[in-house]
Amino acid sequence: MKEACIELDDVVGLVHEYLITIYARRPQQGLDWETPEGRWLRLAKKPPRQLNPDELARFDVIASIELEGLKARRDGIRWKNLFFDSPELQAIRRFAGAHGARKEQPTLVDARIGLRDVGVLYVTDPRPEHKGREIAVPCLKRAARGRTHWQHHVVNKLLNDARRSATDDAQYAEAVETLFKRSLGFMGVDLKDGRKPPRKARNAAAAMRFAGVLVDGPSVHANSRIERDLARMDLLAEIGGATAAATGDGGSVASPVDDGIDEDWAVDEILMDDDEGEEAIG
């Protein structure tokens, strides 16, 4: 018995089998003693209620993080080494509440930020005459626009571990491109500085997650974000050159380079800690 073991894949399979064949068919008190399967089948027969215009306008609230008491200053709002600012935000800062145009204190505001895009901060207007409307405040760091909350967390972690500035635009953009290219290499895309396949399956999954596979859900192509970033970073020519070299059409494939990132690149083990990466390391 000491040598008895079971593979993780088998455990996952057994758990799924239990959820599907037993748990879903067991009456639940929270469902008025219906089974989850029965409740789902019953409600699936009814057409879903259409969202009203107000609900449609705020549908992205579902996938966002609520932030309270952010400080709006002359240089905007800082959150996790990102700065957000706009003329509308400055108008709120100058005239909201007790903080008038001549006051030096920061204006406290509530906001939310999307899990799929940290490039826009949605700030709730605190002025009574605007009845809590939201304004979209863009991130001043271009490389952060379109990044998911998790991607931004990983980039911050890399920069802090390397003792580089997480607030510097150029260093942030370089870190994003490094991790994106590393992810593509793990996924089998030929690059001039291509990488060997990851030794651990979970690292391959983390690479796909950082590259943006399926980030935007089933309504768009699974690789839509990859295509966007390839164009944004102008990597299509680089991929073509590496492919030509690999097929003997010219040149030679460069050997992998050391970019200072641990070869295992276990970013999947980084925990989502809201305090992580708050302070930049210069």
Mark whether 216 and 258 lie in a shared domain. yes
For residues 239 and 78, the model is more confident at 78
If asked whether residues 129 and 231 sit together in one domain, one would say no
What global pTM score does this model have? 0.63
Instruction: Give the Cα separation of 81 and 271 in Å (integer).
Output: 18
Same domain flag for 36 and 98: no
Examine residue 229 and state whether it is found in any structural domain, yes or no. yes
Residue 275 counted as domain residue: no
* The pLDDT of residue 264: 46
Same domain? 99 vs 27: no
In a domain, 276, yes or no: no
31 and 68 assigned to the same domain: no
Q: Distance between CA atoms of 72 and 89, rounded to whole angstroms?
A: 8
Instruction: Identify the pLDDT of residue 254.
Output: 41
pLDDT tier for residue 6 given thresholds of 50, 70 and 90: confident
Is residue 2 domain-resident?
no
Mean pLDDT of the chain: 75
Among candidate residues 87, 92, 94, 97, the one with its CA nearest the CA of residue 111: 92
Q: Is residue 3 in some structural domain?
A: no
In this prediction, residues 5-18 reach a mean pLDDT of 80
Between 110 and 237, the higher pLDDT residue = 110
For residues 225 and 234, what is the distance between their CA atoms, to the nearest angstrom?
14
Least confident of 8-22, 71-85, 206-220, 245-259: 245-259
* 89-93, 115-119, 181-185, range with the lowest pLDDT: 181-185
Structure-block tokens of residue 56? 């449609």
| Residue 88, pLDDT score | 93
Q: Is the pLDDT of residue 140 over 60?
A: yes
Question: Is 166 part of any domain?
Answer: yes
For residues 15 and 79, membership in a common domain is answered with no
Strand residues in 116-224 grouped as ranges (E): 120-124, 134-138
Comparing 33-37, 173-177, 241-245, 270-274, the range with the smallest average pLDDT is: 270-274
Residue 62 pLDDT: 63
Backbone angles phi, psi at 238, to 5 degrees: -65, -40
What is the per-residue pLDDT for 133? 84
Same domain, 172 and 263: yes
Q: How far is CA 201 from the centre of its chain?
A: 20
127 shares its domain with 58: yes
Residue 97 has pLDDT above 70, yes or no: no
**Is the same domain home to 155 and 253?**
yes
**Hey, which bits of 81-238 come out as E strands?**
82-84, 107-114, 120-124, 134-138
Burial of 76-115, coded b for 16+ CB within 10 Å and e otherwise, reads bbbbbbbbbbbeebbebbeebeebeeeeeeebebbbbbbe
Claim to verify: residue 253 and residue 174 sit in the same structural domain: yes
pLDDT at residue 281 above 90?
Answer: no
Domain extent, residue 20, equals 8-44
Please check whether residue 274 lies inside any domain of the structure.
no
Domain count of the fold of the chain = 3
Asked if residue 197 is part of any domain, the answer here is yes
Same domain (yes/no): 262, 162: yes
Residue 26 confidence class, pLDDT cut points 50, 70, 90: very high
Share of the chain above pLDDT 90, in %: 21
Q: pLDDT value at position 89?
A: 93
Kindly indicate the confidence band of residue 64, based on its pLDDT and cuts at 50, 70 and 90: confident
- Say if residue 79 is in the same domain as residue 169: no
Q: What is the mean pLDDT of residues 55-84?
A: 83
Residue 7 has pLDDT above 80, yes or no: no
